[in-house]
Amino acid sequence: MNKGIVIKSTGSWYTVKQEDGSNIECKIKGKFRIKGIKSTNPIAVGDHVEFKVSKTIEDDKNTHIGLIIKIIDRKNYIIRKSTNLSKQSHIIAANIDQAFLVVTVNFPITTTTFIDRFLASAEAYRIPCTLIFNKIDRYNPEQILTMNKLIELYESIGYRCLTTSAKKKIGLDTLQSWMENKTNVFSGHSGVGKSTLINAIEPNLNLKTKEISDYHQTGKHTTTFSEMFDLSFGGYIIDTPGIKGFGMLDMEKEEIGHYFPEIFKRLEKCQFYNCTHIHEPGCEVKNAVANGEISESRYFSYVGLLDGEEKYRI
């Protein structure tokens, strides 16, 4: 049986990197059921698969294609809500060593709600996450102050942060050193500069980039599907589509607080073991918010996820 890793998916065809380093185009055999998750895509970039090789004759040329028959168990994965089916999800990438969330305080704006949803999902799937504050060469003093406050907040929780500028080549060496010999996924809103950053670190990839809309301050989608690339300095990078809503569809409500580290460490001090941290008396989490030990923005993100209301979506 042949084995390989999925490096590109277009929905019906999958490019698989074989153990000898060559690529083969594959289809899937039958339907794959994924435990605990209703997904619109059965196989994702980063999946390790087993496949059979067969020949087809097209235009008098013998072409080898693969037929994927098994997905090897994933160690983790990241999902987002399906754009068409709200109760289903789309797996962005699988078997990830670390995630980088690219954030911009402007050009376009990344909200704390969006950041917190991503971080909670990464916590749930046990994927270490780093926040990359990009485009720092474009910010005015007020925006720099906003960025520094965000960095102070997330570093105090325990998240690694880095400031970068592809144009000014700021932070690129540090970012590259963190990526070496690991499978990395870059995510964030369209227009935050994911592809530009990747190109600055690995120019031979030459990923497509577009400027954001100056009028709407939102990005134009340049990546329509996830794709994995070899890094010349070791490891892989997975480029993903811009994310508009990050999904945590297979989580129970009582688990959500576990994925906010500053809330999780206070759970045992709450008066009730099943405290929702909303209306119960003797809640250590609410006390921490009132005392400024937990930021209001993080608490509101938690409440929004708990309620699942549209008004909390970004």
Residue type, 36: G
Q: How many CB atoms lie within 10 A of CB 87?
A: 8
Task: Delimit the CATH 2.40.50.140 region(s) of the chain.
Answer: 2-71
Position 215 scores a pLDDT of 32
Query: 77-239, which class in CATH?
Result: alpha beta
Burial (0-12, 13-18, 19+ Cβ within 10 Å), 56 = exposed
Position 190 scores a pLDDT of 83
Report how far residue 43's alpha carbon sits from residue 6's, in angstroms, rounded to the nearest whole number: 8
Record: fold of 253-312: Ribonucleotide Reductase Protein R1; domain 1 (1.10.40)
Q: CA nearest 186: which of 232, 230, 132? A: 132
Contact 68, 48 (CB under 8 A): no
Question: What SS3 state is found at 237?
Answer: strand
Task: Delimit the CATH 1.10.40.50 region(s) of the chain.
Answer: 253-312
Position 254 scores a pLDDT of 84
List C-alpha distances in Å: 145 to 26, 112, 137, 154: 49, 15, 13, 14
Report how far residue 277's alpha carbon sits from residue 302's, in angstroms, rounded to the nearest whole number: 9
Task: Delimit the CATH 3.40.50.300 region(s) of the chain.
Answer: 77-239
Q: How many CB atoms lie within 10 A of CB 101?
A: 26
pTM equals: 0.81
Contact 161, 133 (CB under 8 A): yes
Q: What is the full per-residue pLDDT of the chain (314 aa) written as tens digits? A: 899 999 998 878 899 999 999 999 999 877 665 555 566 678 889 999 999 998 765 544 567 899 999 999 999 987 776 655 555 677 888 999 999 999 999 999 999 999 998 899 889 888 999 999 999 999 999 999 999 999 999 999 999 999 999 999 999 999 999 999 999 988 888 899 988 998 999 988 877 654 433 333 444 444 457 788 899 999 999 876 644 445 555 567 888 999 999 999 999 999 998 899 999 999 999 999 999 999 999 999 999 988 874 333 33
What CATH number has the domain spanning 2-71? 2.40.50.140
Q: How far apart are the first and last CA of the chain?
A: 44
Strand partners, 71: 49
